[in-house]
Amino acid sequence: VQLQASGGGLVQAGGSLRLSCVASERTFSNYPMAWFRQAPGKEREFVAAASWSGGATYYLESVNDRFIISRDNTRKTGYLQMNGLKPEDTAVYYCAARSKNPITYEGWRKGDEYEFWGHGTLVTVSS
């Protein structure tokens, strides 16, 4: 499965952006997905994940009340709605998918367990 992320850009603090992740195959609808980010000079960080149906979602604590992950399997697309953006949210955002559900709760947050990755989209939040 190939993933294509888009929707990044430059936004002022407090603003909103919606990222999209379009998959190349319909099998995406069976796969858990996630968003990760990597800020300059920092390690990749888990942001949010959703089960195949979108019924179960998981978030990094610092974005829990600001970001919403969702998906439209009929469109083979996942989304990350980002509200109340802060300068510390500045990063390249990546979408990812995996063919199997995590065995553990922490598995949702482990990038190494995701098999499919898209190219990143840059989000820059100015103060």
Q: How far apart are CA 125 and CA 13, in angstroms?
A: 6
54 CA to centre of own chain:
13
Residues 6+ apart with CB under 8 A from 48: 34, 35, 57, 58, 59, 60, 63, 67, 69, 80
pLDDT digit string, tens, across residues 70-122: 999 999 999 999 999 999 999 999 999 999 999 888 999 999 999 999 999 99
| Phi-psi map region of 7: left, alpha, beta (phi>0 left; psi -120 to 50 alpha) | left
pLDDT the model gives residue 11? 98
Q: Are 86 and 13 in contact (CB under 8 A)?
A: yes
pLDDT the model gives residue 64? 94
pLDDT the model gives residue 119? 93
pLDDT the model gives residue 59? 97
pLDDT digit string, tens, across residues 14-35: 999 999 999 999 999 999 999 9
pLDDT the model gives residue 118? 94
pLDDT digit string, tens, across residues 44-70: 999 999 999 999 999 999 999 999 999
